Amino acid sequence: MTEAERKRIARDLHDGVLQDFSYTTAAIGMMVLQAKDAKLREQLQAAVDAVRRGAQGLREVVNDLRLEDEEDRPFTEIVGSLVRRSRTMAPRLEISLEVGEQVPSALLGETGTQVSRVIQEALTNVRRHAEATRVSVSVKMDRDLDEKFAPDDGKGFGSESSPGMGLSSMRERAALIGGELEIESEVEQGTRIRLRVPLPQGVLE
């Protein structure tokens, strides 16, 4: 999926489906207030809660899709924005960020876009599946390689588990820019993701 397609889908979901969710929540809420039967009120309230959960889930999807203008922003700003957004969406999840002094704040073009998407996928997986209480993101330099780490304290998964769409997408994005992606996970031991990427020519000149 191209970045233009992501933006279009995010816009359509925000302006269409999310607005419908808001209207539906308000309409059912009015029914709750007007209902005289206690059992009916309970059922309607359950429906309101379900719609709100659905809206929240969709809002997270929209936020994930709205990583706009990557190629026109310094890489370090993109990473910081991703972490702040995840903190907003998961306030109970402790997310730390460490950016090494040698990491360039320059525009990294396609490399920056794909690396930021890998970090985004990793944070999304932690929020939705890991049942973790904390996760750390570290960006460092080692010679001409950019290094990213995202370990968490979640439930993890075993070697027999099939990779989901998120992990497959991360591997594809790493391959596009000549990167190496390592994923280590054990049941009840959390997950650690490491991405090593060669920087574009001219970045350190």
In tens, the pLDDT along 117-145 reads 888 888 888 887 778 888 888 888 765 55
Q: Could you report the per-residue pLDDT of 2-47, keeping only the tens digit for each?
A: 667 777 777 777 777 878 888 888 888 889 888 889 999 899 999 9
Residues 27 and 115 in one domain: no
Domain-embedded: residue 22: yes
Strand partners, 194: 149, 182
Residues 49 and 138 in one domain: no
Residues 53 and 119 in one domain: no
CA 3/CA 65 separation, integer angstroms:
9
Domain-embedded: residue 191: yes
Residues 98 and 29 in one domain: no
CA 114/CA 93 separation, integer angstroms:
24
| 31: exposed, middle or buried (Cβ count in 10 Å: 0-12, 13-18, 19+) | middle
Residues 132 and 103 in one domain: yes
Domain-embedded: residue 205: no
Q: How confident is the model at residue 201 (pLDDT cuts 50, 70, 90)?
A: low
pTM over the 0.75 mark = no
Number of domains making up the chain: 2
Q: Which domain holds residue 136?
A: 70-198
Structure tokens at 70: 């990557």
Q: How confident is the model at residue 67 (pLDDT cuts 50, 70, 90)?
A: low
Residues 112 and 126 in one domain: yes
For the segment 170-191, the average pLDDT, to the nearest whole number, is 83
Strand, coil or helix: 151 = coil
| 81: exposed, middle or buried (Cβ count in 10 Å: 0-12, 13-18, 19+) | middle
